[in-house]
């Protein structure tokens, strides 16, 4: 892994816990699949973040991947996917969790909601 890749996933290496349905052998590829999440966590210290991913009925017809995030100052965030392909399901929960994080950030930063309004001169 290059130094830029390891930097991007370091918070995941530290704070991601593989739960039900995943084993130690899955750690590296799951962390890489979730790497796009790391930049969205930059506003918090790693100690303020807890991430947990689990899968029920792995490789079965009723497979369900759940990614939960406890991030200081935010409500608990949960993303789920019932995709049949495990990698695709992990990609879906990553994207959904990013959407939820960005939504929470914009709710807490009113300046993100301000439209650029032109006031009449005078």
Domains of the chain, by residue range, sit at 3-109
Residue 75: pLDDT over 80: yes
pTM: 0.82
Which among 95, 94, 109, 113 is positioned nearest to 43, based on CA atoms? 109
Percent pLDDT > 70 in the chain is 82
Rounded to the nearest integer, the mean pLDDT of the chain is: 86
Domain 3-109 class? Answer: alpha beta
d(CA 122, CA 67): 53
Q: What is the DSSP string of 25-46?
A: GGHHHHHHHTGGGGGGGTTS-G
What's the chain's Rg over C-alpha atoms? 17
Mean pLDDT, rounded, for 23-52 = 95
């Amino acid at each position: 892994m290059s130094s830029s890749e390891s930097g991007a996933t370091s918070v995941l290496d530290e704070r991601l816990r593989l739960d039900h349905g995943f084993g130690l052998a899955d750690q590296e590829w799951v962390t890489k699949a979730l790497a796009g999440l790391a930049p969205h966590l930059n506003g918090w210290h790693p100690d303020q973040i807890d991430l947990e991913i689990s899968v029920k009925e792995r490789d079965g017809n009723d497979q369900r991947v759940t990614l939960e995030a406890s991030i200081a100052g935010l409500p608990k965030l949960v993303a789920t996917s019932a995709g049949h392909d495990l990698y695709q399901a992990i990609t879906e929960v990553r994207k959904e969790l990013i959407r939820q994080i960005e939504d929470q950030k914009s709710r807490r930063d009113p300046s993100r909601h301000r439209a650029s309004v032109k006031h009449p001169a005078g």
